[in-house]
């Protein structure tokens, strides 16, 4: 057997728990080892040729009906966190570096009640256009829409939307320039 065939077999075996929990895998899509998935993951759809690095956490809180949709050719680095109560959609051929978090909701805070018992907010969709690059250690927060071909600098906290070809960076992220 060739080395490529062995790699495909191992990748498929690693993905079996995710497949049992309802993740839909496109052709040649893989998730790295030691990923963390909640019990029912029927809202997760990976397009063709999607690669997710090890120790990823794909989360759809129970009873939320959330969706996580990753476009074909997208690659996500190690230790990613993607948590959706509503919907997180990442376009085709995007590259998310390591330690990137996309979270479409917040913890609810109520006076004199533990955050563990207060629940989560309703949430707002996150939409990332095709061909985007998200730098390491970045956060994309609820309600953000990034147009196609956007670049997010490392360590950014993105809490508002930006149009096609935007280069953004900082905490909070600000528009640096529009690509020509």
Full-model pTM: 0.92
Separation between Cα atoms, residue 87 and residue 44, nearest integer Å: 10
Per CATH, the homologous superfamily of domain 3-178 is Hexapeptide repeat proteins (2.160.10.10)
Taking only the tens place, the pLDDT of each residue in 37-88 is 666 678 999 999 999 999 999 999 877 889 999 999 999 999 999 999 999 9
Rg (CA), the chain: 17
Residue spans of the domains in the chain: they are 3-178
Which of 15, 5, 10 lies closest to 41, judged by CA?
Answer: 15
Q: Would residue 85 be called left, alpha or beta, if left means φ above 0 and alpha means ψ between -120 and 50 degrees?
A: alpha
Taking only the tens place, the pLDDT of each residue in 114-146 is 888 888 888 999 999 999 999 999 999 999 999
Q: Name the residue with tokens 């805070």.
A: 109
3-state secondary structure 66-130: CEEEECCCCEECCCCEEECCCEEEECCCCEECCCCEEECCCECCCCCCCHHHHCECCCCCEEECC
**Highest mean pLDDT out of 18-22, 52-56, 120-124, 160-164:** 160-164
Instruction: Indicate if 105 belongs to the active site.
Output: no
Kindly name the residue from 8, 19, 107, 177 that is annotated as catalytic. Answer: 107
């Amino acid at each position: 057997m060739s080395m490529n065939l062995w790699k495909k077999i191992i990748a498929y075996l690693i993905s079996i728990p995710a497949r049992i929990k309802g993740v839909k895998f496109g052709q040649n899509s893989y998730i790295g080892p030691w990923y963390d998935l909640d019990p029912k993951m029927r809202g997760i759809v990976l397009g063709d040729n999607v690669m997710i690095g090890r120790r990823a956490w794909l989360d759809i809180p129970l009873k939320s009906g959330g969706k996580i949709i990753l476009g074909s050719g997208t690659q996500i680095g190690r230790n990613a966190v993607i948590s959706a109560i509503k919907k997180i959609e990442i376009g085709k051929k995007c590259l998310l570096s390591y330690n990137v978090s996309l979270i479409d909701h917040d913890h609810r805070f109520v006076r004199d009640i533990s955050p563990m018992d207060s629940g989560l907010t309703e949430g707002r969709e996150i939409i990332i256009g095709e061909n985007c690059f998200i730098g390491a250690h970045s956060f994309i927060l609820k309600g953000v829409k990034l147009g196609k071909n956007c670049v997010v600098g490392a360590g950014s906290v993105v809490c508002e939307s930006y149009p096609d070809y935007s280069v953004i960076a900082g905490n909070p992220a600000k528009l640096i320039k529009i690509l020509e």
